[in-house]
């Protein structure tokens, strides 16, 4: 076995941190060097996450108490939005960084300021950050020091739509993305709206036309279109823990239909271990990817002429967060991309 990759996870007491640890436990090059969690500092991982009691891991520490980063090769940053910029700006140069917050996702720092309510605190660093949707930015990720891991909602639509827009098969303007997410995407914070009594046995839309993943989605679609485009994005909160399903309504350009679109995607993602294109007329369940790094994409011709309905599914904690982060780490370190990510979905 080669030398281990020594890993620090900042903000390890949330669901994303736990998921990173679950996946890295199957990664034969990964070694957990530092776990931080300010409110749980001094506790063992087993105390915070009893399901991970068997994992070999150091106790949690406060981030300010980490003074020596020499034993670390890569940092996964799972801190809250807005607090992350300053932390990352202060990390030693030798560290590679995968940031799972939203802080470095928007290339335009003014756009960031509009959506996140304050100026970006590390605009120079932002210029060096690579937006890390692995399948669409492998060379840049391989060369990057700082990777901004994509948001959970944008990942599926980005994978499904960018190649179709780039190839001119669909109209880039006015695409509708109707998204349904499990609750783990909202994190482990104790909020009334996330209680079992409030979430189970129901569904609701939230952040309609105002969710912070909107500019990230539009950034992706605009880049593919070569010009600024707007999209409709409506997230819904559902009574499940894991999974995002996005139903996308697109206008196909003359002559294109669901089969054409899927054929294009099949070529684009041929050989990809994690992105799978379904046969025309079929659509995936979130259950088909739970616990895995997979993204499945299906499409059906609509009754409204020229319209195609695309459906993508991911596990928001894996391909939508920790899994893609590990995938990016693998690319950054030249490792096999499936290392730590070979698990099949768990069903039921």
Tokens read off for 144: 């990057």
- Choose, from 78, 152, 246, 295, the residue flagged as catalytic: 152
Which is nearer to a second copy, 136 or 322 (by Cβ)?
Answer: 322
CB 160 within 8 A of CB 166: no
What is the rounded distance in angstroms from the CA atom of residue 128 to the CA atom of residue 85?
13
Contact between 76 and a second copy (CB under 8 A)? no
What is the rounded distance in angstroms from the CA atom of residue 332 to the CA atom of residue 139?
9
CB 155 within 8 A of CB 323: no
Among 113, 137, 194, 266, binds a second copy (CB under 8 A): 194
Which candidate, 250, 264, 244, 12, places its Cα nearest to that of 150? 244
Q: How far is the CB of 143 from a second copy (least distance, A)?
A: 29
Touching a second copy, residues 287-316 (CB under 8 A): 287-292, 294, 300-305, 307, 309, 311
Distance of CA 238 to the CA centre of its chain: 18
Give the interface size with a second copy as a residue count (CB under 8 A): 84
Touching a second copy, residues 148-177 (CB under 8 A): 173-174, 176
Among 42, 51, 62, 226, binds a second copy (CB under 8 A): 51
Is 152 among the catalytic positions?
yes
Contact between 49 and a second copy (CB under 8 A)? yes
Which is nearer to a second copy, 132 or 235 (by Cβ)?
Answer: 235
Which is nearer to a second copy, 9 or 240 (by Cβ)?
Answer: 240
Candidates 116-124, 152-160, 321-329, 337-345: pick the segment binding a second copy (CB under 8 A): 337-345
Say which residue the tokens 């290392």 belong to.
339
What is the rounded distance in angstroms from the CA atom of residue 104 to the CA atom of residue 108?
9
> Going by C-beta distance under 8 Å and a sequence separation of 6 or more, which residues neighbour residue 205?
234, 235, 236
Touching a second copy, residues 215-244 (CB under 8 A): 230-234, 236, 238-243
Among 1, 3, 118, 209, binds a second copy (CB under 8 A): 209
Among 67, 90, 190, 270, binds a second copy (CB under 8 A): 190
Phi, psi (degrees; rounded to nearest 5) at 192:
-55, -45
Among 116, 198, 272, 333, binds a second copy (CB under 8 A): 198
Helices (H), 83-122: 84-89, 109-116
Contact between 4 and a second copy (CB under 8 A)? no
Which is nearer to a second copy, 2 or 344 (by Cβ)?
Answer: 344
Contact between 47 and a second copy (CB under 8 A)? no
- At 203, is the secondary structure helix, strand, or coil? coil
Tokens read off for 277: 């294109």
Touching a second copy, residues 8-27 (CB under 8 A): 15, 18, 21-22, 25-26
What is the rounded distance in angstroms from the CA atom of residue 101 to the CA atom of residue 90?
16
Q: Which residues are catalytic?
A: 152
């Amino acid at each position: 076995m080669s030398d281990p990759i020594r890993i620090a996870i900042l903000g390890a007491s949330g669901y994303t941190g736990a998921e990173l640890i679950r996946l890295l436990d199957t990664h034969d090059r990964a070694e957990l060097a530092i776990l931080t969690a300010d409110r749980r500092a001094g506790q063992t991982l087993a105390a915070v996450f009893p399901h991970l009691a068997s994992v070999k891991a150091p106790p949690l520490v406060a981030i300010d108490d980490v003074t020596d980063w020499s034993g670390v090769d890569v940092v996964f940053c799972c801190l809250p939005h807005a607090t992350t910029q300053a932390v990352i700006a202060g990390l030693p140069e030798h560290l590679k960084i995968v940031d799972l917050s939203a802080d470095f996702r928007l290339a335009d720092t003014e756009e960031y300021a509009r959506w996140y309510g304050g100026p970006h605190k590390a605009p120079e660093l932002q210029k060096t950050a690579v937006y890390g949707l692995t399948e669409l930015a492998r060379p840049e990720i391989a060369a990057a020091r700082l990777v901004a891991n994509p948001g959970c909602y944008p990942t599926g639509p980005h994978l499904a739509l960018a190649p179709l827009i780039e190839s001119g098969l669909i109209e880039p303007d006015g695409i509708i993305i109707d998204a349904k997410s499990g609750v783990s995407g909202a994190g482990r914070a104790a909020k009334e709206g996330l209680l079992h009594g409030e979430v189970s046995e129901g569904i609701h839309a939230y952040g309609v036309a105002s969710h912070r993943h909107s500019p990230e989605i539009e950034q992706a679609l605009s880049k593919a279109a070569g010009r600024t485009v707007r999209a409709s994005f409506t997230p819904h909160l559902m009574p499940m823990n894991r999974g995002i399903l996005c139903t996308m309504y697109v206008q196909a350009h003359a002559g294109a239909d669901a089969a054409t679109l899927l054929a294009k995607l099949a070529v684009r993602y041929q050989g990809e271990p994690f992105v799978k294109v379904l046969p025309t007329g079929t659509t995936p369940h979130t259950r088909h990817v739970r616990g895995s790094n997979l993204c499945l994409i299906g499409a059906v011709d609509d009754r409204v002429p020229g319209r195609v309905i695309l459906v993508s599914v991911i596990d928001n904690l894996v391909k939508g967060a920790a899994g893609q982060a590990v995938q990016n780490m693998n690319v950054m370190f030249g490792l096999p991309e499936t290392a730590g990510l070979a698990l099949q979905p768990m069903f039921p």
